Amino acid sequence: MKYGHLERINLTLRMLAPVFIGSGERLNKKEYIFDAKKGIIYFLDLPRLVVFLKSRSLLSKYEEFLIQPRYKDFRVFLKENKIVEADYSSFVSYSITAGEAARVPNFREVVTFIKDADGRPYIPGSSLKGAIRTALAAQLMKKGDWDQERRNIEVADTSGPPRRYLSGESSILEKKAFYRLGIQNPKNGEVLFSPINDFMQGIRISDSAAVDFENLTLAGKYDRKPDGTFNLLPIFRECLIPGTEVQLLMTLDRPMLAKVGLDLNSIEDALHSFADDHYANFEQFFTELPEDASIEAKQGVDIILGGGAGYVSKTLTYNLLPMRDQAVSVTAKILAKQFQRHGHFKDASKYKVSPHILKTTMYAGEYYQMGKCELILK
């Protein structure tokens, strides 16, 4: 729907696989209750817990429990102080199915999903906008002269700290991709190489409404190698389950985007193209398993969203470098510098793909590629 120079598009985001967007919080066993028999995990409301413990004259015991390293599980405290399940409603914020974690009773930590001000899960518009931003940059790199940027990446100095490796080159690349509005400095008439010229200002996406807790589960980390074998890591994340749908609103500033040749159709085309490239350059090099879930976007475009979804879904190395062999070698070099213990120096010669891990998880007995969604633009 068009409102003057603005165009508003209703978006439906459907989870095709478990999706994780982190809150930045990690909970250990002293901060949740895991009922392995029922396959349920309970999350504590700490202010209400304090009130409850005060009413039972247990606050000092709880403080001692927290500082004692030999006590590692909140269930021990509950049992020793005769706190039963019927009491949970007094101090539990919410509960969800433990999912695959129910099969790994000794897992240590839960990484939580982002919540709104009322403590309910939602999809931030910024997460979706970030995925669109990456797809648009990839599309722009198919046009114009990017030879200098390619050379900068290939010959970048590797002697510095891993965290700073390619930071300057990446900054230059992003500015060239996005600073395209042509706004000039009124004093000297020179085009400003600053965020004021970032055309992504012309795309705004609202946050989704809150999602019911029943749409959350715990999902593990199954790192798949090209031959189909995988490593199961003891990391469990709160994830939205497949089939969850949320609504968002995208607002386009049509005159601003027209300056760089963008509109709704070209945004959708970029998303399709990025998904196709992701499969061609990366996904297809990993063996499919009989237990893999059959998923596809039937109405909209494929998009990979959130954390734990992998390097290729968030970066532009494969899109910048036109020859795939070259892209694999450069990606392996980047990852070997940043993650020196992960064996990425063998990616090009042994695995023919970099990184040599496909980020998957399991839900209801089937494997899913982490973060896969369908975006429907109406």
Residue appearing with tokens 């648009």: 136
Phi, psi of 65 (to 5 degrees): -60, -40
| Nearest to 166, CA basis, from 354, 337, 342, 307 | 337
Rounded to the nearest 10°, the torsion over CA 159, 161, 162, 164 is -100
Burial class (CB in 10 A: 0-12, 13-18, 19+), 284: exposed
Question: What is the SS3 assignment for 316?
Answer: coil
Q: Residue 17 and residue 33: Cα distance in Å, rounded?
A: 26
**Angstrom distance (rounded) from CA 95 to CA 78:** 17
> For residues 56 and 235, what is the distance between their CA atoms, to the nearest angstrom?
34
HSE-CB of 243 using CA atoms within 13 angstroms: 10
Phi, psi of 61, rounded to the nearest 5 degrees: -65, -40
pLDDT of residue 252: 98
pLDDT at 235: 85
Quick check: helix, strand or coil at residue 68?
Answer: coil
Tokens of 354: 């970099």
Q: Are 133 and 200 in contact (CB under 8 A)?
A: yes
What was the pLDDT predicted at 1?
Answer: 67
Amino acid making up residue 292 = D
Structure tokens at 136: 């648009």
Other C-beta atoms closer than 10 Å to the C-beta of 6 total 15
In degrees to the nearest 10, what's the CA dihedral of 283, 286, 288, 291?
-90
Question: Which residue stretches of the chain have pLDDT < 50?
Answer: none
CA-based nearest residue to 115, from 14, 13, 183, 216: 216
Q: Which pLDDT score, from 0 to 100, does residue 176 have?
A: 93
Tell me, what's the pLDDT at 105? 67
Selection from 244, 220, 30 nearest residue 111 by Cα:
220
The amino acid at 153: I
Residues 6+ apart with CB under 8 A from 288: 228
Dmax over CA atoms of the chain, in Å, equals 76
Look at residue 158 in the predicted model and tell me its pLDDT. 75
